[in-house]
Amino acid sequence: MKMELDKDLFCVVGLGGSGRAAVRLLCSQGARVRGYDARAPKDLGDAAQELKKLGVELFTGELEATVFEGVSHVVLSPGVPPRAVRDLAEAAGAELLGELELSSRFLPGTFAAIAGTNGKSTVTQLLGDMLERGARPVFVGGNLGTPLSEAVAGPASGSDGLLVVEVSSFQLETVRDFHAHVAVLLNITDDHLDRYDDFADYAAAKGRVFAAQTADDFALVPEGDAFLTQLAAVGDAKVVHFGGEHSLVRIEGDVLLSTDGAFRFPLSDLAVTGRHNAIDACAAASAALLLGAPVEDIAAALREFRGLPHRMQLVCERRGVRYLDDSKATNVGAAAAALDGFLGSAGKVVLIAGGRDKGGSYAPLVEPLSKVGRAIVCLGEAAAKMERALGETDLPIRRTASMAEAVRVAASLAEPGDTVLLSPACSSYDMFVSYAHRGNAFAGAVRALPDAAPGEGR
């Protein structure tokens, strides 16, 4: 449905960060805007005042058909499950789209979209770092942090802009015309099964990143993954692989190497460790090459990258035990990858895990824990389910009621040379407002232990 900003009425559903960004964008373009949120105005805080100043008509409480009366476009925030909203929007004859789809219609530049269950934030930031060294203006954001709507008023808003966006399955549910010149799908493992009917439904949402691509575009997926290669064929793009023997960029021995040999990077120069980080580097370098980045810019960005907050971040070392914050590992696949990174290490791992269960299985943690684990400390709503699943490891398992207690118990179980790893495999929303809040609570509890000397953050 074509948008006519001077005539159409837009309703933004969900007034969190993404929704408010969509409201600001629409208001800046002269559109008439209505906002809806289930929370009462007093619970919206500063958002309610901002909406009032912008002249936005605000609806709150239970979602009813009257909210969409006269509305031509419904802009759905990614955190809001779409089914009930979709039914009401269709009944009103309104187009349903998300903030990602909406904002992309105002941005004529070149898009790179990074999707996947794990690693997408790292690859998005890495790719942005590689491209920002060039002459073209670059925006880095999306699900990573800064909503794409904010790019419309920024330096990358023109046709010469490069827009590097992390895209979640929630955002991809509502795309139609969103078009990435380079679309990357890193992996798919069980996640968000509390929102989707099953794994196939979740995977189909991820695959929508390729849907609008043309023969002039590139779909980038890991070599050897037949399922992701099949998903990449949803659109018409040329399928390109990374990470394997016949990939655009592969791991060969201890170097990253491009097919033509022009890009060669020693893995020892990566400041972040673990095979999963090397694979992420392959993906980012491949995307950068497809977007025309010079090999020297790619190498410089890899050399300087220090990782993201709450992703395998060293908090400190105490009595010979390292404490790592991997709170961003909000699903089982991410936690398993973190544990795999300790294969071959001298010490063992005391894992702190748990939180709000997302409907998947914890069985993939059993094998890596059996190889590298010392003990397991569980907390949160998923603790009992996790205990049952991880009992197969034959490792000591302790259940705790708080992060402070979890850290104290983990410290008592660890031996010199070991690592206490917070890698929850669950969302944070049972006890914390975000994975960052959880990670900060972990770091605070670690620093409250006696004899904890600050380590060098990574």
When pLDDT is averaged across residues 356-376 and rounded to a whole number, the result is 95
The yes-or-no verdict on residue 308 having pLDDT over 90 is no
pLDDT (tens digit per residue) in 425-446 = 999 999 999 999 999 999 999 9
Interatomic CA distance for residues 221 and 351, integer angstroms:
30
Asked if 82 and 103 count as a contact pair (C-beta separation under 8 A), the reply is no
Asked if 56 and 23 count as a contact pair (C-beta separation under 8 A), the reply is yes
Q: Check residue 196 and give its pLDDT.
A: 81
Lookup result for tokens 């389910």: 385
Degrees (nearest 5) of the Cα angle 247, 170, 434? 100
| Residue whose C-alpha is closest to residue 15's, from 102, 73, 75, 72 | 75
Fold entry, domain 107-304: UDP-N-acetylmuramoyl-L-alanine:D-glutamate ligase (3.40.1190)
Please give the structure tokens belonging to residue 48.
């309610």
The CB-side HSE value for 217 (13 A sphere, CA atoms) comes to 25
Other beta carbons within 10 Å of 270: 18
The yes-or-no verdict on residue 453 having pLDDT over 60 is no
Residue 312 three-state SS = coil
Please give the structure tokens belonging to residue 316.
């400190």
The yes-or-no verdict on residue 457 having pLDDT over 70 is no
pLDDT (tens digit per residue) in 186-238 = 999 877 767 788 889 999 999 999 999 999 999 999 999 999 999 999 999 99
**Average pLDDT of the chain, as a whole number:** 93
Residues acting as catalytic residues: 120, 143, 192
pLDDT (tens digit per residue) in 374-395 = 999 999 999 999 999 999 999 9
Say how many residues make up the chain. Answer: 458
Structural domain boundaries in the chain: 9-101, 107-304, 313-448
Whole-number percent of the chain with pLDDT over 70:
98
The CB-side HSE value for 315 (13 A sphere, CA atoms) comes to 26
Pairing assessment for the beta strands 313-318 and 321-325 based on DSSP bridges? antiparallel
Asked if 402 and 424 count as a contact pair (C-beta separation under 8 A), the reply is no
Please give the structure tokens belonging to residue 402.
């708080």
Q: Which residues of 355-385 are buried (b: 16+ CB within 10 A; e: fewer)?
A: bbbbebebebbbebbeebbbbbbbbbbbbee
Interatomic CA distance for residues 25 and 301, integer angstroms:
32
Q: Give the pLDDT band (50/70/90) at residue 6.
A: confident
Handedness of CA 413, 419, 420, 421 (dihedral sign): negative
Interatomic CA distance for residues 58 and 19, integer angstroms:
13
Q: Check residue 455 and give its pLDDT.
A: 43
Q: Give the pLDDT band (50/70/90) at residue 452.
A: low
Other beta carbons within 10 Å of 197: 9
Residue 171 three-state SS = helix
When pLDDT is averaged across residues 442-457 and rounded to a whole number, the result is 74
Q: Give the pLDDT band (50/70/90) at residue 458.
A: very low
The yes-or-no verdict on residue 120 having pLDDT over 50 is yes
Q: Check residue 264 and give its pLDDT.
A: 97
Fold entry, domain 9-101: Rossmann fold (3.40.50)
Asked if 430 and 315 count as a contact pair (C-beta separation under 8 A), the reply is no
> Which runs of E-coded beta strand occur in 271-411?
313-318, 321-325, 349-353, 373-378, 397-399
pLDDT (tens digit per residue) in 246-285 = 999 999 999 999 999 999 999 999 988 778 889 999 999 9
Left, alpha or beta for 116 (phi > 0: left; psi -120 to 50: alpha)?
left
Please give the structure tokens belonging to residue 238.
């040329």
Q: Check residue 33 and give its pLDDT.
A: 97
CATH superfamily assigned to domain 313-448? Mur ligase, C-terminal domain (3.90.190.20)
When pLDDT is averaged across residues 99-117 and rounded to a whole number, the result is 97
- CA 353 distance to own-chain centroid: 19
Whole-number percent of the chain with pLDDT over 90:
82
pLDDT (tens digit per residue) in 82-93 = 888 999 999 999
Asked if 75 and 102 count as a contact pair (C-beta separation under 8 A), the reply is yes
pLDDT (tens digit per residue) in 38-77 = 999 889 888 889 999 999 999 999 999 999 999 999 999 9
The yes-or-no verdict on residue 109 having pLDDT over 90 is yes
Please give the structure tokens belonging to residue 285.
């370098």
| Residue whose C-alpha is closest to residue 414's, from 317, 301, 330 | 317
Q: Give the pLDDT band (50/70/90) at residue 1.
A: low
410: enclosing H helix or E strand: helix 403-413
pLDDT (tens digit per residue) in 12-40 = 999 988 999 999 999 999 999 999 999 99
Please give the structure tokens belonging to residue 136.
């073209």
C-alpha dist (Å) from residue 33 to 9, 104, 106, 127, 207? 6, 18, 17, 35, 31
